Amino acid sequence: MFRVAGGYLAGAFAVLQAVLTAVAAGWLPDGAFRVVLGVALLGFPVAMVLAWDFDITPRGVERTPDDPPTEPLAQPPIGPWLALVGGSVILGVILAVLR
């Protein structure tokens, strides 16, 4: 879902920049940017709902299973916690240096 959000935002940004350039050059009417921005803003929740319900697999697009796997993890994942603590330490050091 995060990859879809990032891809959507990057694509919307690129399209909005192209429309803004075309409006500035006089190729599109002045209201075109607002229309494209509105469509992008309305399309984001739709993309998130679809990303929540469907997965892209090597076999194609499949519906996300409702039940999580019943087998427990052999070892709890430490990667997210390590990234959170490391990021907090780095942010603290940067803020201390900037003071």
Q: How far is C-alpha 34 from the chain's CA centre?
A: 21
pLDDT value at residue 47:
86
How far, in Å, CA of 44 to CA of 12, rounded? 9
The 10 Å CB-count burial string (b at 16+, else e) for 17-42 is eebeeebeeeebeeeebeebeeebee
pLDDT value at residue 18:
94
Secondary structure of residue 19 in the 3-state scheme: helix
Per-residue pLDDT tens, the chain, 99 aa: give them.
Answer: 788 888 899 999 999 999 999 999 999 998 898 999 999 999 898 888 888 777 766 777 777 767 666 666 666 666 676 777 777 777 777 677 665
The answer to whether the Cα torsion of 81, 2, 12, 43 is positive or negative is: negative
